[in-house]
Structure 1
């Protein structure tokens, strides 16, 4: 993948209204431009395909002949398409605040629902065999309170698949540099102002176990190395390279969308990139994959 990614700014104009509308529920504070087109779509698609190549499977969960699968936060629909292809007899629903890309080739067993995740779910409780969320809990206020809502969607024995990152760059050899420190100071301050937790990935397993909703909770921690020399595994090298550019796209998107209030400046971003590309550093971000069976 050549070059650092840049995200365009999306500007929306309000439409006049003759009568006051009922107060809507707040939206989950997704910090980036729309995910259904442009650079952000390519970033999400590249990230999905990199993870899929590494895992070589849809999930580690032992899913047997599911009839209904729900993906919350479907983005570009890449995971939902893979699920619908893997389980052609299942009904797969992709749910997101944004529509699926118009150019997406949808299997016949895949449908889409537009929804705000902070609203009540428009689904019958206990009606899904699988519920999947990837990199969505990081955008939800009080994510620990969301676990019970997700569990309510599952049939007994159904699987909840939660995947997220611990959004902290670690160096195995020494403390991170001033560029990384400055970027995370601004990024964490911005995310906390939104009421969300950038390090939720490392807390998923504990939250799932504390909910008492599952008969088993499993976790796999995948190190995503920024420096390909940090591992001899070619699949991990590929995954780390993709995550590096994807994460950079997140920071660029925040800077472009909210400006200085996001705490990230071009100077901070350049310093972060210099340190991430330093061949002497052993930097990584951990991705946490969980699969939990409802009791």
Structure 2
């Protein structure tokens, strides 16, 4: 599956196991409003399907939970658990570990899970409800780009880890690149609205490209590792069938992000149906070589 050591990969999600999801309390009023997450936070409907499709597409591509050499962890935390797929796989992979899935929205009631998995509803902008240095693994995927001051957040995440524990951060550089030519007016128009909306929220949609530097600059980790995955919008951009499938999954997932912003915040999100049509025309142009890079990191705390 790999062309070379520089081959770009991503961390896995997973299939579901036996059991029922733990019951979670109803979402407190305005919990989601306190967090600059631009999409619907319901664990049902279109957004759940989008997240599940993305999770399982990544799982098929990567075929493992993480590149970090994790051995016998006792406590694992996923911040931003979404539909719970990664947390379920972590619970299956490490059955003797306590796994905590944390998010603004409860896990789906229909989710199959395991006895060593529990759920914690929380707002990531507020103080963590966990004692410092009590986790062996902390995982976040596509969450840091929605949080203000991500550089400072690295320190908060590191505080949760025991010495020698692993921080698994994965995010995108939300910038379409075209190997053949400059991006077209359709993509440019969408990006103007999208980036203005994100920056108005005080968050960085391109944080993925800064992950490695932020982790190293924090001085909290004895080692910082990174792999970058090119997610091609055009299947003809690569002969690798696995990358072709991953690129198509991410293309439709990203499209769903824009639809979600348009539906949730309306014109203030800077994305209109006309702008979305222009994006779709260009991103599906077989003559273009568009891609978005994903950044996967695994760092060991000192």
User: Residue 272 in 1 paired to residue 275 in 2?
Assistant: no
1:139 counterpart residue number = 146
- Asked if the contact 2:32/2:41 (under 8 Å) is kept, the reply is no
1:194 counterpart residue number = 201
Which structure 1 residue ranges, 5 or more long, are not aligned? 1-13, 16-22
Counterpart among 48, 56, 59 of residue 49 in structure 1:
56
TM, length-normalised to structure 1: 0.91
Distance in 1 (alpha carbons) for counterparts of 2:133 and 2:149: 23
- Asked if the contact 1:25/1:118 (under 8 Å) is kept, the reply is no
Distance in 1 (alpha carbons) for counterparts of 2:32 and 2:237: 45
2:217 counterpart residue number = 210
| 1:33-58, Cα deviation, whole Å (9 max, x unpaired) | 12411010010111111111111110
Counterpart among 32, 36, 45 of residue 38 in structure 1:
45
How has the CA–CA distance of structure 1 residues 126 and 240 changed in structure 2, closer, same or farther, with 3 Å as cutoff?
same
User: Residue 233 in 1 paired to residue 236 in 2?
Assistant: no
Distance in 2 (alpha carbons) for counterparts of 1:25 and 1:247: 21
Greater shift, 239-248 or 35-44, is seen at 35-44
2:160 counterpart residue number = 153
1:85-124 residue pairs with structure 2 within 5 A? 85-124=92-131
- 3-state SS of paired residue (1:47): helix
- How many residue pairs get aligned? The number is 275
- Asked if the contact 2:87/2:100 (under 8 Å) is kept, the reply is yes
Distance in 1 (alpha carbons) for counterparts of 2:218 and 2:180: 36
Distance in 1 (alpha carbons) for counterparts of 2:105 and 2:53: 18
| 1:271-294, Cα deviation, whole Å (9 max, x unpaired) | 100001000000000000000000
Distance in 1 (alpha carbons) for counterparts of 2:208 and 2:83: 21
- Asked if the contact 1:68/1:129 (under 8 Å) is kept, the reply is yes
- 3-state SS of paired residue (1:148): helix
Q: Give the deviation of 1:26 after TM superposition.
A: 7.2
4+ residue segments displaced more than 6 Å: 23-26
1:245 counterpart residue number = 252
Distance in 2 (alpha carbons) for counterparts of 1:46 and 1:24: 26
User: Residue 59 in 1 paired to residue 59 in 2?
Assistant: no
| 1:177-215, Cα deviation, whole Å (9 max, x unpaired) | 000000001000000000000100000000000000000
Distance in 2 (alpha carbons) for counterparts of 1:79 and 1:25: 21
How has the CA–CA distance of structure 1 residues 87 and 41 changed in structure 2, closer, same or farther, with 3 Å as cutoff?
same
Distance in 2 (alpha carbons) for counterparts of 1:127 and 1:194: 31
Which structure 2 residue ranges, 5 or more long, are not aligned? 1-27
Distance in 1 (alpha carbons) for counterparts of 2:32 and 2:290: 39
2:270 counterpart residue number = 263
Distance in 2 (alpha carbons) for counterparts of 1:240 and 1:67: 35
- 3-state SS of paired residue (1:50): helix
Greater shift, 30-39 or 241-250, is seen at 30-39
- Asked if the contact 2:31/2:104 (under 8 Å) is kept, the reply is no
Distance in 2 (alpha carbons) for counterparts of 1:228 and 1:24: 40
User: Residue 76 in 1 paired to residue 83 in 2?
Assistant: yes
1:19 counterpart residue number = none
Distance in 2 (alpha carbons) for counterparts of 1:209 and 1:270: 40
- 3-state SS of paired residue (2:34): coil
- Asked if the contact 1:35/1:75 (under 8 Å) is kept, the reply is no
- 3-state SS of paired residue (1:288): strand
Counterpart among 132, 136, 149 of residue 129 in structure 1:
136
